Amino acid sequence: GNSVTQMEGPVTLSEEAFLTINCTYTATGYPSLFWYVQYPGEGLQLLLKATKADDKGSNKGFEATYRKETTSFHLEKGSVQVSDSAVYFCALSDSTSYGKLTFGQGTILTVHP
Amino acid sequence: DAGITQSPRHKVTETGTPVTLRCHQTENHRYMYWYRQDPGHGLRLIHYSYGVKDTDKGEVSDGYSVSRSKTEDFLLTLESATSSQTSVYFCASGQGYNEKLFFGSGTQLSVL
């Protein structure tokens, strides 16, 4: 079955530091890959997505590249802000799954001034 | 953003009682989902629906049932609540593969 593995957290950074959150996946076929973000007390919202190999998703300074050869979709941001503090989830859906998402366990990011 | 609301936002109940959580979406999305969120597990799928009256089980469906009588409404029922079902429950809706899901704000359920 499908599975997503994210790097262990929590991650604590100073403002303007570089961020990487690793994500690897196992899936049948050609999944679409997503990063969702959850701010305190809220539901999840889409941060970015990529639907085929070598695609790069980007939004709000965050980027992730769909690497089929390494089955990875690592999230990066060059300079984090305090407002980026949240929980980040990597997820996938495949063409047989009725749009269902399989999530990683989530990574808590805290950014200090 | 998409209109998707959950009710109630918070609920405390006793072991053995039935509980129903409600999800309502105004985007005419075909697919709807119930997830639970627990520390260390991310979000896990309980049940999903791919159309009115069409539902199927997710990975953690034991002790839960669902119903979808209208496109916009998706109900989750805990038939006899247990302490292991204390969790945050999220409803989501979407248009399918490759498309993003829209999430509600969650229901914090405590079973005492």
Q: What is the pLDDT of residues B33-61, one digit of tens each?
A: 999 999 888 899 999 999 999 999 999 99
Q: Which of A13-27, A55-69, A94-108, B65-79 has the lowest mean pLDDT?
A: A94-108
The beta-carbon neighbor of B98 closest among A32, A43, A100 is: A32
A29: pLDDT confidence band, cut at 50, 70 and 90?
confident
Is A57's Cβ below 8 Å from some Cβ in B?
Answer: no
Chosen from B97, B103, B105, B108 to mutate, greatest number of chain A CBs within 10 A: B97
Full DSSP string of A8-51? -S-EEEETT--EEE-EEEE-SS--EEEEEEE-TTS-EEEEEEE-
Is B99's Cβ below 8 Å from some Cβ in A?
Answer: yes
Give CA–CA dist A58/A61, Å, rounded: 7
B2: pLDDT confidence band, cut at 50, 70 and 90?
low
Residues of A in contact with B5 (CB under 8 A): none
Q: Count how many residues are written for chain A.
A: 113
The pLDDT assigned to A31 comes to 92
Provide the sign of the torsion angle of the four alpha carbons A56, A63, A100, A70, taken in this order.
positive
A99: pLDDT confidence band, cut at 50, 70 and 90?
confident
Provide the sign of the torsion angle of the four alpha carbons A74, A23, A51, A53, taken in this order.
positive
